[in-house]
Amino acid sequence: MSIRVIAAREMAERKLVWVAAGYMALAGLALPYLRGLSGAPAADARGVLGVALNLAFVGTLAALLGAAMIPGDLASGRIGFYLVRPVSVAAVLWGRLLGGWLLAVAGGLVVVLPQVVLGPWRDYRGWALVVGCTALLAIPVMLLAHVLAVSWRSRTLWILLDLTGLGLYGWFVVQLLIRLAMARAGRVNLDAFLLAALVLPTLALAVAAQLQLDQGRTDLRRGHRWLALSLAGGLLVSALLLSAPYLTILASSRTTG
Amino acid sequence: MTSIPVVQCAGLTMAYGRRPALAGVSLEVPAGAVYALLGRNGSGKSTLVRALLGLARPRAGEARLFGEDVWRHRARAMARVGVVPETPDLPPAMSAAQASAFCGRLAPAWDGAGVAARLARLQVDPAMPVARLSRGQQTQVALALALGGRPELLVLDDPTLGLDPVARQDLYRELLDELAERGSTVFITTHDLAGIEGLADRVGILHQGRLLLDEPLEALKARFRQVRWATSGPEDLAALGPEALAALAPVAITRDAFGVQALVPGFTAEGLAAAGLAEASVTGASLEEIFMGLVNGEVQA
Amino acid sequence: MRAILQVDPAGAVPIWKQIEEGMRRQLAAGALAPGAPVPSVRDLARDLRVNPATVAKAYQGLVEAGWLVVRRGEGTFVQGDGGSRDRDRRRLLAEEAGRLAALGLALGLARTEAEAALAEAWTELEQKGAAR
């Protein structure tokens, strides 16, 4: 399947990632000793460091790859190599992003492996949860980096809409969160809200990325128009959906109050 | 039985933002033909190629390959097309062998052995990252990859740009072999007028986004003539008279120490006699002379 | 033969015609014996650096004129046909003679002068050929 072939190619392309991951893994092992944490149990320090490094490595790599892979090729014109293949635009976009994501996640695993094997935190399920969570978080990070980089490289004024939209969305989510917390919405509901606040814009970013490449192709101006409008629309829809629980709380409090 | 043209543009209009790039370009390339699109830098050649490959959407009009709108059915069309881009666009760290394997997995039918054989014949190291190959070798890799899918249509966007004379000849030779072997249709944009003169069946000249002419090369060369006659001074040209000049209807006129040379389309012996130049020397015009005359001189094709 | 056959892509005469004419001269002059193979379309196109379709067109003209014959699976060969050779020989000679006459007249020479020049050139070449 084309997506698989393209993802595999993307991973094979960036062998340096493994070197970096190996380096970070060793650093993770050595760091507690270097900083002379003789007081705190070195084992715990290693465990914490492992989680932190995993998070940092995966997050950074996701952002770097997201910003470099396709936006770079769009700006330089090298995207043509992929677009003259008999494969769909979606396969090119999602294949490459998948490859980058797998690379980031696999690199994170390498970073964390010594801690899992050597460290005292032998709770494999716990580690799996950590790795799994960072892997999932990497998706919106990568998509955001991709979209922002494309927006920047397209060199049109639509970037103002993109940044404004994202900023407004972020502010809106924070406002809703505060109000929900004050309305004592309950822990479970807040968690669900946060999850939705992350998943919905991720979907919006994905749709925008797809439309940008499919409708723009080598025409960056056209692509950016599609990106900006679909992202703004997607964020608006997300904001509306997210405000639903708060509005129901308001409505119920009005009827009771 | 008329078959669908392999390449077809109808009223193709392209623009970048507000800046127009192509204005109502219409052309057709029948199967098996070699079509050379000529034009100065900025005339819109690469824009046309991008439209033909479904890489940019037309503002108006349409671009079709094998009868299908290529913007809407790009992936399907690309299975039958091989592309050699203007600047090499392979990922720099990729080697030719890796590129062949990659393209092979994405194409419905791939002649990997043929690609390898071609590269070996041209002494291109298949394991070396393409960024480290010479420009000529990179172009050969691009051509080998383009031919790997056994395409019915080959699109080359200024393939000889930046190539030294040896590399240029190598490229033409590979192209000729391919034509002889499979009779593919070829659409090539180029500045190398002398090089393409032996190859092209049909020629189009693009100028500021418009197609000045679009006809078989043989007919074009049959139409145009260089008419030379000796004069003693510029007044002799004026002495020809406006009716005579109109009868001749030259496209470009150059004067030197020996006389006047006029590039004449639609040449006829009667026209020459009417202009009072029955004793002028008449020779053929090369593609380069025709191109320069049309694009530099007053446009009267 | 390939070295002798010259093609000028920039010239006014269509390339296929140049090839056809060039080959006719060779064949009329007897450079290739009847039954001898001629270069394949592909090889000749390669050597002359022209579109194979153009070579094919020239070959087709020669086949139709009876100069060449295509044997499926084997290639293209010179057809042994004395009649067309003589005809083409005479035609080529007539063309060159016409050019000589035109030049002589344009220069304002008498016919005898042109004939003398021709005789001189002929003997000189004959002697050169004999010396080799």
Tell me, yes or no, whether B228 and B204 share the same domain. no
Q: Is residue B194 within 8 Å of residue C64, measured between CB atoms? A: no
CB contact under 8 A, B78 and A84: yes
Tell me, yes or no, whether B134 and B225 share the same domain. no
**Chain centroid, CA C72 distance in Å:** 25
Place of tokens 């390898």: B116
Q: Which chains touch B (3 or more CB pairs under 8 A)?
A: A, C
Beta-sheet strand order (sheet of B68-69): B19-29, B7-16, B60-65, B68-69
**CA C92, CA C94: separation in Å to the nearest integer?**
5
Q: Which of B208, B237, B263 is the last residue in one of the domains?
A: B208
Asked which of A31-35, B35-39, C116-120 is least confident by mean pLDDT, the reply is: A31-35
Q: Is residue A104 predicted with pLDDT exceeding 70?
A: yes
Q: Taking Cα atoms as reference points, which of A202, A194, A210, A207 lies closest to residue A138?
A: A202
Q: Which of B179, B208, B237 is the last residue in one of the domains?
A: B208
CATH number at residue B256: 3.30.70
Helix, strand, or coil (residue B79): coil
CB contact under 8 A, B285 and C50: no
Please give the full DSSP string across B218-260, using - where no structure is assigned: HHHHHH-EEEEEE-SSHHHHHHT-HHHHHHH--SEEEE-SSEE
**CA B281, CA B251: separation in Å to the nearest integer?**
17
Tell me, yes or no, whether B234 and B135 share the same domain. no
Asked which of B87-101, B228-242, C118-132 is least confident by mean pLDDT, the reply is: B228-242
pLDDT at B242: 65
Tell me, yes or no, whether B170 and B229 share the same domain. no
In chain B, residues with a C-beta closer than 8 Å to the C-beta of A9 are 102
Helix, strand, or coil (residue B277): coil
Long-range contacts of A163-169 (CB under 8 A, 24+ apart): A165/A228, A165/A231, A165/A232, A165/A235, A165/A236, A166/A231, A166/A235, A168/A235, A169/A201, A169/A235, A169/A238, A169/A239
Distance from CA of C84 to the nearest CA of B (A): 28
Tell me the mean pLDDT in the region A3-16.
93
Question: Tell me, what DSSP letter sits at residue B78?
Answer: H
Tell me the mean pLDDT in the region B155-170.
92
pLDDT at B229: 79
Q: Is residue B1 predicted with pLDDT exceeding 60?
A: no
Tell me the mean pLDDT in the region A174-189.
80
**CA C68, CA C79: separation in Å to the nearest integer?**
5
Tell me, yes or no, whether B13 and B76 share the same domain. yes
**Percentage of chain A lying above the pLDDT 90 cut:** 63
In chain B, residues with a C-beta closer than 8 Å to the C-beta of A89 are 74
The verdict on residue B301 lying in a domain is: no
Tell me, yes or no, whether B152 and B264 share the same domain. no
pLDDT at B301: 36
The verdict on residue B214 lying in a domain is: no
The verdict on residue B137 lying in a domain is: yes
Tell me, yes or no, whether B147 and B86 share the same domain. yes
Number of residues written out for chain B = 301
| Surface-to-core class of residue A31, CB atoms within 10 Å of its CB (0-12 exposed, 13-18 middle, 19+ buried) | middle
The first and second tokens of residue A230, run together, are 């679909």
**DSSP β-bridge partners for residue B203:** B36, B215
Q: Taking Cα atoms as reference points, which of B77, B70, B255, B87 lies closest to residue B152?
A: B77
The verdict on residue B69 lying in a domain is: yes
The verdict on residue B114 lying in a domain is: yes
Q: Is residue C110 predicted with pLDDT exceeding 80?
A: yes
**CA A89, CA A96: separation in Å to the nearest integer?**
11
Tell me, yes or no, whether B224 and B198 share the same domain. no
Distance from CA of C5 to the nearest CA of B (A): 15
Asked which of A138-152, B270-284, C118-132 is least confident by mean pLDDT, the reply is: B270-284
How many domains would you assign to chain B? 2
To 10 degrees, what angle do helices C82-107 and C111-131 make?
130
Whole domain around residue B49: which residue ranges?
7-208
**CA B162, CA B277: separation in Å to the nearest integer?**
43
The verdict on residue B171 lying in a domain is: yes
**Chain centroid, CA B163 distance in Å:** 16
More confident residue, A103 or B1: A103
Tell me, yes or no, whether B109 and B192 share the same domain. yes
CATH number at residue B123: 3.40.50.300
Tell me, yes or no, whether B103 and B241 share the same domain. no
CA atoms within 13 A on the CB side of A87: 25
Tell me the mean pLDDT in the region B30-46.
93
Question: H or E element: which one contains A110?
Answer: helix A89-118
- Which range, A36-40, B15-19, B133-137, C34-38, is most confident? B133-137
**Percentage of chain C lying above the pLDDT 70 cut:** 91
Tell me, yes or no, whether B96 and B167 share the same domain. yes
pLDDT at A204: 97
pLDDT at A254: 74
pLDDT at C3: 56
- A 10 A CB-CB count for A95 gives 24
Tell me, yes or no, whether B127 and B244 share the same domain. no
Each residue of C35-53: pLDDT tens digit? 888 888 888 988 888 999 9
Q: Taking Cα atoms as reference points, which of B127, B115, B58 lies closest to residue B82?
A: B115
pLDDT at B199: 92
In chain B, residues with a C-beta closer than 8 Å to the C-beta of A78 are 89-91
Q: Which of B208, B235, B261 is the last residue in one of the domains?
A: B208
| Chains A+C touching (3+ CB pairs under 8 Å) | no
Tell me the mean pLDDT in the region A195-207.
96
- Using 50, 70 and 90 to split pLDDT, how confident is the model at C1? very low
Question: Tell me, what DSSP letter sits at residue C37?
Answer: B
pLDDT at C16: 92
Please give the full DSSP string across A95-107, using - where no structure is assigned: HHHHHHHHHHHHH
Question: Tell me, what DSSP letter sits at residue C75?
Answer: E
CB contact under 8 A, B106 and A215: no
Each residue of A159-174: pLDDT tens digit? 999 999 999 999 999 9
Tell me the mean pLDDT in the region C15-29.
87
pLDDT at B235: 55
- Which range, B74-88, B227-241, B246-260, is most confident? B74-88
The verdict on residue B96 lying in a domain is: yes
The verdict on residue B215 lying in a domain is: no
Backbone angles phi, psi at B27, to 5 degrees: -155, 165
pTM for the model stands at 0.88
Each residue of B247-293: pLDDT tens digit? 777 778 877 777 778 888 877 777 777 777 777 788 888 899 899 88
pLDDT at A50: 79
Tell me the mean pLDDT in the region A233-250.
89
Tell me the mean pLDDT in the region C111-126.
89
Q: Is residue A43 predicted with pLDDT exceeding 70?
A: no
| Chains B+A touching (3+ CB pairs under 8 Å) | yes
CB contact under 8 A, B57 and A222: yes
Q: Taking Cα atoms as reference points, which of A229, A179, A184 lies closest to residue A208?
A: A229
The overall average pLDDT reported for chain A is 89
The first and second tokens of residue A56, run together, are 């940092």
Tell me the mean pLDDT in the region B11-19.
91
pLDDT at B296: 81
Distance from CA of A78 to the nearest CA of B (A): 5
Q: Is residue A69 predicted with pLDDT exceeding 80?
A: yes
